[in-house]
A and B are shown apart, each in its own frame.
Chain A
């Protein structure tokens, strides 16, 4: 099966476009064009085999493509911005599943020609096939669990049962043994069992991860799927799949490390921390310690007569769809001559950069969004810090309590400001499930209620000043 030169060159062109796409996606100005270049390259690439291969079942294939396209369009159009992380997880999972199925089919092809001794595919091809089947299945099952956790179809807390490390270890050893067996004894049965074992490993891998760490897992599984596609490309002797998969595998791994770094955690700690017991399990209960709370009028006065205000937005803001009201409030404050900025923690929301997307949707100017390192020195000059639906990213326990699950995560220094206002729905702890000492500080005022409603009241009160 030799590929004609024009097709090989077309694959090369598509690979270059993917590199340009990733490059474009790294800058705010070029990102959209980068994505479009990638999309065009992918569509063109998928059309190429129809022209040089004598493909069977073309009508059925086109129907399947149409069904998948419709599903993808529907999902991408209807998803809420707040649900973006689980959508990415789901898309990643089905990609991993597709790669595993492709490898199983290729194995079937290898098995059915194996009667002919001259058709020996070589041990490395078999190894790559085993890798694709296994890791693709891991990625599929892991992503589905990730989706369920973020969509809150199941608990977002770490799920651990007593024998889990043992079962996980046995499954890993079993999969390695099966992978080796596949090289010596190439049968479909071994491949199918390997896929099932991969599914089990995927589930066990993600279950013990706490909800707040799930974004890291999405990124990691994304890298897994990339490597799977790369191995699949090797098996199919397709350079484009190899390059595209490797690009995603490498950049995905790097991105995972960047994200884990932003949370001050090691990837190993995130994945296996819960297995070592205790430390990632927070109390998860509302506290009844005394706090100071106030109404919209008082808060409006605090804000309206400040000189420097910093807003710390969190996932609660997004859930309440209050980003537009917040922007109006900031506009009014700015008109009063108050200097207002948004302090964006790298993992605010559910994924790095998630909050930027949400605020950009509300047309907050890019310049007002300050990254953590740029604004952290500024908190001590701030008269008021307004925390809207955020919790863990300003929790001093990250600095002071070595046992806390978020210990070591860099946080926004909201505690250094003269006044802190927390807009919260209740005293329930944040996603990491631990109590926030900042809530009980004398400089802190709580403003209870749904973020959108409260911000609306606050907006009117400030306007009336």
Chain B
């Protein structure tokens, strides 16, 4: 298969998965979902790291580092803020387990 077609296949299938996977979401969860999806595209951090790590030009390095900072804000902030929203949905039943233990808080 031609390499371009492979990429196109991945793209098209991802479009359908992206729509299908959230098609049953209730409007209650629209805000956390938007925020969670927002965090996922923060994975551009990966791209920023790769590009920055293979440059040898001073200006390009600076721009790359800025990109890394921005992408890390997007990714880390996005997931944490989503978790903060979602904590409020989960908290109602288990009253005896008040402190979520993982690093989020």
Residues on A close to B: CB < 8 A? Answer: 14, 18-19, 21-23, 25-28, 31-32, 34-36, 38-39, 42, 45-46, 48-50, 53, 55-58, 60-61, 64-65, 67-69, 71-73, 75-77, 79, 81, 84-85, 87-88, 91-92, 94-95, 97-99, 101-102, 104-106, 108-109, 112, 124, 218-219, 222, 225-226, 228-230, 232-234, 236, 238-252, 254-255, 258-259, 262, 344, 346, 351-354, 356-357, 360-361, 363, 365-366, 369, 371
Number of A-B contacts (CB under 8 A): 375
B15 near A64 with CB under 8 A, answer no
Residues on B close to A: CB < 8 A? Answer: 4, 7, 10-11, 14-19, 21-57, 60-61, 63-92, 102
B81 contact from A28, A36, A79, Cβ within 8 A: A79
- What are the 3 tightest A-B residue pairs by CB atom distance, in nearest-first order? A68-B72, A250-B18, A72-B77
Q: Within 8 Å CB of B84, what residues of A?
A: 76-77
12 contacts between A and B (CB under 8 A): A64-B69, A68-B68, A71-B73, A84-B35, A226-B37, A232-B47, A240-B43, A249-B18, A262-B27, A353-B33, A369-B28, A371-B26
Q: Within 8 Å CB of A352, what residues of B?
A: 27, 30-31
Given the known inter-chain contacts A35-B82, A243-B10, please indicate yes or no for A61 contacting B47, CB distance below 8 A. no
B89 near A360 with CB under 8 A, answer yes
B32 contact from A76, A242, A344, A353, Cβ within 8 A: A353
Given the known inter-chain contacts A38-B40, A42-B39, please indicate yes or no for A98 contacting B48, CB distance below 8 A. yes
Given the known inter-chain contacts A68-B73, A91-B78, please indicate yes or no for A246 contacting B30, CB distance below 8 A. no
B69 near A248 with CB under 8 A, answer no
Residue of B nearest to A373 (CB): B27
Q: Within 8 Å CB of B39, what residues of A?
A: 35, 38-39, 42, 91
B48 near A56 with CB under 8 A, answer no
A72 near B18 with CB under 8 A, answer no
| Besides A71-B77, A365-B92, 13 new A-B residue pairs in contact (Cβ under 8 A), listed by A number | A14-B43, A35-B39, A35-B86, A45-B43, A95-B74, A101-B48, A228-B41, A243-B10, A247-B18, A259-B30, A262-B27, A346-B30, A360-B91
Question: CA A239 – CA B36 in complex, angstroms?
Answer: 20
Residue of A nearest to B81 (CB): A76
Q: How far is the CB of A251 from chain B (nearest CB, A)?
A: 4
A58 near B53 with CB under 8 A, answer yes
SS class, residues of chain A in contact with chain B: helix
Q: Within 8 Å CB of B51, what residues of A?
A: 102, 105-106, 109, 236
A105 near B63 with CB under 8 A, answer yes
Given the known inter-chain contacts A76-B81, A226-B41, please indicate yes or no for A246 contacting B18, CB distance below 8 A. yes
**Which of A38, A39, A245 has the largest number of chain B CB atoms within 10 A?**
A39
A244 contact from B41, B53, B73, B83, Cβ within 8 A: B41
B81 near A91 with CB under 8 A, answer yes
Q: Within 8 Å CB of B22, what residues of A?
A: 22-23, 25-26, 251, 254-255
B53 contact from A23, A61, A251, A365, Cβ within 8 A: A61
